[in-house]
Amino acid sequence: MKQAEVKKAWLTAGNRARVIATLSHKKSDKVPYNVSFTRKARAKMIESYGDPDFESKLGNCLTVMRCEPKDSWKEVNPNIWEDQFRVQWNRTVDKDIGVVCNCLVTPDNINEYEFPDPDDPLRYDDYNEIIKTKKDGFFVVALGFSLFERAWTLTGMENLLMAMISDKDFANSLLDKILDFNLRIIENACLFDIDAMMFGDDWGQQTGLIMGPKLWREFIKPRIKQMYELVKSKGKFVFIHSCGKVDEIFPDLIDCGVDVFNPFQPEVMNVFEMKKRYGSSLSFYGGISTQRTLPYGTVTEVKDEVKRLLDVIGENGGYIAAPAHAIPADAKPENIAAMIEVLQHQFPQI
270-296 pLDDT, tens digit each: 999 999 999 999 999 999 999 999 999
Residue 311 belongs to domain spanning: 1-60+289-350
Structural domain includes residue 251: no
How big is the CA angle at 100 (ends 258 and 106), to the nearest 5 degrees? 85
pLDDT in tens, 3-23: 444 444 444 459 999 999 999
The answer to whether position 345 is within a domain reads yes
Say what the pLDDT of residue 239 is.
Answer: 98
39 contacts 95 by C-beta, under 8 angstroms: yes
Residues 71, 218: Cα–Cα separation, whole Å: 36
CA neighbor of 85 nearest in space, from 146, 163, 173: 146
Tens digits of residue pLDDT in 232-257: 999 999 999 999 999 999 999 999 99
pLDDT of residue 10: 42
E strand map for 124-259: 138-143, 196-200, 204-205, 208-209, 237-241
The answer for residues whose C-beta is within 8 angstroms of residue 200's C-beta and 6 or more apart is 142, 143, 144, 145, 146, 149, 241, 242
* Mean pLDDT across the chain: 94
Report yes or no on 3 lying in a domain: yes
Q: What angle do CA 258, 214, 287 make, to 5 degrees?
A: 40
263-276 pLDDT, tens digit per residue, is: 999 999 999 999 99
Confidence at residue 347, expressed as pLDDT on a 0 to 100 scale: 76
Rounded Cα gap, residues 240 and 261, in angstroms: 5
Number of domains forming the structure of the chain = 1
Residue in 316, 340, 342 with CA at minimum distance from that of residue 327: 340
pLDDT at position 349, please? 57
Determine which helix (DSSP H) or strand (DSSP E) holds 322, and give its type and residue range.
strand 319-323
Q: pLDDT-based confidence at 92, cuts 50/70/90?
A: very high
Domain assignment present for 324 = yes
* pLDDT bucket at 71, cuts 50 / 70 / 90: confident
Q: Is the pTM of this model over 0.85?
A: yes
**Nearest C-alpha neighbor of 245 from the set 214, 290, 204, 285:** 204
CA neighbor of 318 nearest in space, from 345, 278, 267, 268: 278
pLDDT band at 70 (very low <50, low <70, confident <90, very high): confident
| Averaged pLDDT, 130-157 | 96
pLDDT category at 1 given cuts 50, 70, 90 is very low
- On whether residue 48 sits in a domain, the answer given is yes
pLDDT of residue 7: 43
Q: Are strands 196-200 and 138-143 parallel, antiparallel or unpaired?
A: parallel
Distance in angstroms (rounded) separating the CA atoms of residues 265 and 254: 18
